[in-house]
């Protein structure tokens, strides 16, 4: 299999991206890694370590983190991200990975790679942290701000297939993000979606409140992109504030510093638990090829983990399964 990596996207590009790609190529000899980016800027980081299964595809441009997505994708046809997208569309790569501009990557998925027939709106599906470290797949997290009930149904189907084919969960529990657990709760969108989800060929466990996400009330959480963003950032902000306040308490005097030294290993584990970057890249589900969004701050390890994730999804025939499910409707 061939995996294209946008070598110019992310806070630590290209150095860490190249490093992760080199590690992935060394680990999986059956996989060809194609680094897409400016050849002259990539080669110094390679240091002559070109394995037979590591290639460079030159792309003269790159899309910056603050560029307006649609315009950037339309104009920069030779950017590393768009070129990687074209490779997936043309069958030159089986998957693409990028830690670059999220909006631009969603646009690349939509306009360059293209949607799966029957899918109206692709959804971005990161893993949210849970207390037991198992994580919860949530979609949509920001691609589709004004979702319709039918979109939420498609998210449920795609998320369910992803969790069984990539994570091996036999019967993923699908929950609907809502303001209460009773069936009649919610706004017009969730009330209508509830009825569709009840009829769908999934293991629907009903409404899930945002306070129960960390308790892993389900394996796949379905929501519109607006509510999903509010949820994710509220969790991030609260965890980071509590950890910050804790740090302040621990550095107050020599006695609290002693306490901090004792507690350090446990606190590190807690911080890692709350870090959703630990859970790998987020697939953009519903596009006609495997597109994985790495976190903007991805380092070499994160890039290698995204390759691992892509390999599992490809081996599990993820896209083919989604197509079969959707066209079977």
* Interacting residues with a copy of itself (CB under 8 A): 131, 142, 145-146, 177, 179, 186-188, 190, 209-215, 224-227, 229-231, 233-246, 249-250, 252, 255-256, 258-260, 262-263, 266-267, 269-270, 273-274
Question: Looking at beta carbons only, is 86 or 121 nearer to a copy of itself?
Answer: 121
In this structure, the dihedral spanned by the alpha carbons of residues 259, 261, 266 and 271, taken in order and rounded to 10 degrees, is 100
Nearest approach in angstroms of CB 126 to a copy of itself is 14
* Helix locations, 69-148, DSSP H: 69-75, 80-89, 102-107
Q: Which residues of 47-70 are buried (b: 16+ CB within 10 A; e: fewer)?
A: eeeeeebbbbbebebbbeeebebe
Nearest approach in angstroms of CB 257 to a copy of itself is 10
Question: Looking at beta carbons only, is 187 or 327 nearer to a copy of itself?
Answer: 187
CB neighbourhood size of 139 (10 A):
32
Question: Looking at beta carbons only, is 142 or 172 nearer to a copy of itself?
Answer: 142
Nearest approach in angstroms of CB 116 to a copy of itself is 24
Question: Looking at beta carbons only, is 153 or 213 nearer to a copy of itself?
Answer: 213
Residue closest to 327 by CA, chosen among 91, 116, 109: 116
Query: Residue 305 and residue 126: Cα distance in Å, rounded?
Result: 14
Packing angle, helices 318-327 and 149-167, rounded to 10: 140
Nearest approach in angstroms of CB 127 to a copy of itself is 16
Question: Looking at beta carbons only, is 33 or 110 nearer to a copy of itself?
Answer: 110
Place of tokens 């037979």: 52
Nearest approach in angstroms of CB 314 to a copy of itself is 31
Nearest approach in angstroms of CB 234 to a copy of itself is 4
Question: Looking at beta carbons only, is 170 or 262 nearer to a copy of itself?
Answer: 262
Nearest approach in angstroms of CB 147 to a copy of itself is 9
Contact 15, 99 (CB under 8 A): no
Q: Which residues make Cβ contacts (< 8 Å) with residue 80, sequence separation at least 6?
A: 6, 7, 8, 9, 36, 37, 38, 59, 61, 62, 63, 100
Residue closest to 313 by CA, chosen among 108, 121, 125, 82: 125
309: enclosing H helix or E strand = helix 300-315
Question: Looking at beta carbons only, is 66 or 117 nearer to a copy of itself?
Answer: 66
Nearest approach in angstroms of CB 212 to a copy of itself is 7
Question: Looking at beta carbons only, is 50 or 263 nearer to a copy of itself?
Answer: 263
């Amino acid at each position: 299999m061939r995996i294209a990596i946008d070598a110019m996207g992310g806070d630590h590009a290209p150095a860490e991206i190249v490093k992760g790609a080199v590690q992935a190529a060394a680990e999986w000899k059956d996989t060809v890694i194609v680094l897409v980016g400016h050849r002259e800027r990539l080669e110094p980081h390679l240091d002559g370590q070109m394995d037979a299964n590591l290639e460079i595809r030159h792309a003269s441009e790159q899309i910056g983190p603050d560029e307006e997505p649609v315009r950037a994708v339309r104009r920069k046809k030779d950017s590393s991200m768009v070129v990687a997208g074209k490779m997936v569309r043309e069958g030159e790569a089986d998957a693409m990975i990028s830690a670059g501009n999220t909006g631009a990557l969603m646009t690349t998925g939509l306009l360059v790679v293209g949607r799966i027939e029957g899918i109206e709106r692709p959804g971005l599906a990161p893993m949210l942290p849970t207390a037991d470290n198992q994580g919860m797949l949530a979609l949509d997290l920001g691609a589709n701000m004004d979702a319709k009930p039918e979109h939420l149904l498609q998210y449920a189907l795609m998320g369910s297939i992803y969790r069984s084919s990539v994570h091996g969960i036999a019967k993923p529990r699908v929950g609907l993000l809502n303001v209460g657990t009773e069936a009649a709760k919610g706004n017009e969108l969730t009330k209508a979606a509830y009825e569709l989800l009840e009829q769908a060929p999934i293991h629907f466990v009903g409404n899930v409140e945002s306070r129960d996400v960390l308790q892993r009330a389900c394996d796949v959480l379905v929501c519109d992109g607006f509510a999903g963003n509010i949820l994710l950032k509220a969790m991030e902000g609260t965890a980071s504030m509590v950890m910050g306040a804790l740090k302040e308490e621990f550095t107050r005097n020599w006695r609290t510093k002693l306490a901090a030294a004792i507690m350090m290993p446990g606190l590190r584990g807690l911080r890692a638990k709350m870090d959703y970057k630990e859970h790998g890249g987020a697939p953009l589900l519903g596009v006609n090829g495997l597109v994985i969004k790495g976190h903007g701050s991805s380092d070499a390890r994160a890039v290698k983990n995204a390759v691992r994730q892509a390999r599992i999804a490809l081996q599990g025939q993820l896209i083919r399964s989604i197509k079969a499910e959707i066209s079977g409707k």
